[in-house]
């Protein structure tokens, strides 16, 4: 009998898939890899959808995705890695909500799926085929899960809330300019 079971293999596959996709998305934002726009282009996009300042927002999202995704794939600091990815995907979902659920219509399906997978990994843990296990779970303690997810939820609520306020002010300003004409 091996020291690993099918649950460990399943968690490894889920970590590699979810973490790999997240890391690639982050690399698009940070470095322009894989057809991405890098910090400048992503920053301009972030400004256009209400996240300001754009370049700082692009950097934060890119680091959360690339860093969180890489750590998830490795199974290292799994609670913090999962929480970082959850926060980034919640911010992305907020942008796509007006388009409905399905990705083919520009909806939040993809971001929600990645965020839920990352949250599930943060809660379930990385399994025995992970760096967390090899290091004795020094950065994967039970108390870290609610702490990381709670802190991320608070920060994400503030960031998304500020975005909503910016968009509301932008819309009100556009409406006022219509009456001035």
Closest CA to 3 of 127, 125, 123: 127
Task: Read off the tokens for 174.
Answer: 């556009």
* pLDDT (0 to 100) of residue 174: 74
CA distance 117 to 21: 11
The residue to which tokens 């934060």 are assigned: 60
What separation, in Å, do the N-terminal and C-terminal C-alpha atoms of the chain show? 78
Tell me the domain boundaries of the chain.
21-174
pLDDT in tens, the chain (181 residues): 467 799 999 999 999 999 999 999 999 999 999 999 999 999 999 999 999 999 999 999 999 999 999 999 999 999 999 999 999 999 999 999 999 999 999 999 999 999 999 999 999 999 999 999 999 999 999 999 999 999 999 999 999 999 999 999 998 887 666 566 6
Number of helices (H), then strands (E), in the chain: 7, 0
Q: pTM for the whole thing?
A: 0.91
């Amino acid at each position: 009998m091996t020291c690993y079971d099918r649950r460990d293999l399943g968690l490894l596959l889920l970590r590699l898939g979810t973490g790999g996709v997240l890391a690639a998305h982050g690399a698009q934002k940070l470095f322009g890899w894989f057809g991405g726009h890098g910090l400048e282009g992503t920053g301009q996009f972030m400004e256009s959808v209400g996240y300001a300042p754009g370049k700082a927002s692009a950097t934060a999202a890119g680091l959360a995705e690339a860093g969180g995704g890489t750590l998830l794939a490795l199974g290292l600091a799994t609670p913090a890695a999962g929480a970082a990815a959850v926060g980034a995907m919640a911010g992305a979902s907020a942008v796509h909500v007006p388009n409905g659920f399905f990705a083919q219509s520009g909806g939040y399906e993809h971001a929600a799926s990645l965020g839920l997978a990352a949250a599930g990994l943060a809660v379930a843990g990385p399994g025995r085929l992970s760096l967390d296990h090899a290091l004795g779970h020094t950065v994967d303690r039970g108390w870290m899960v609610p702490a990381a997810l709670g802190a991320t939820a608070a920060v994400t609520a503030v960031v998304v809330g500020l975005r909503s306020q910016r968009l509301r002010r932008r819309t009100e300003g556009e409406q006022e300019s219509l009456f001035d004409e």
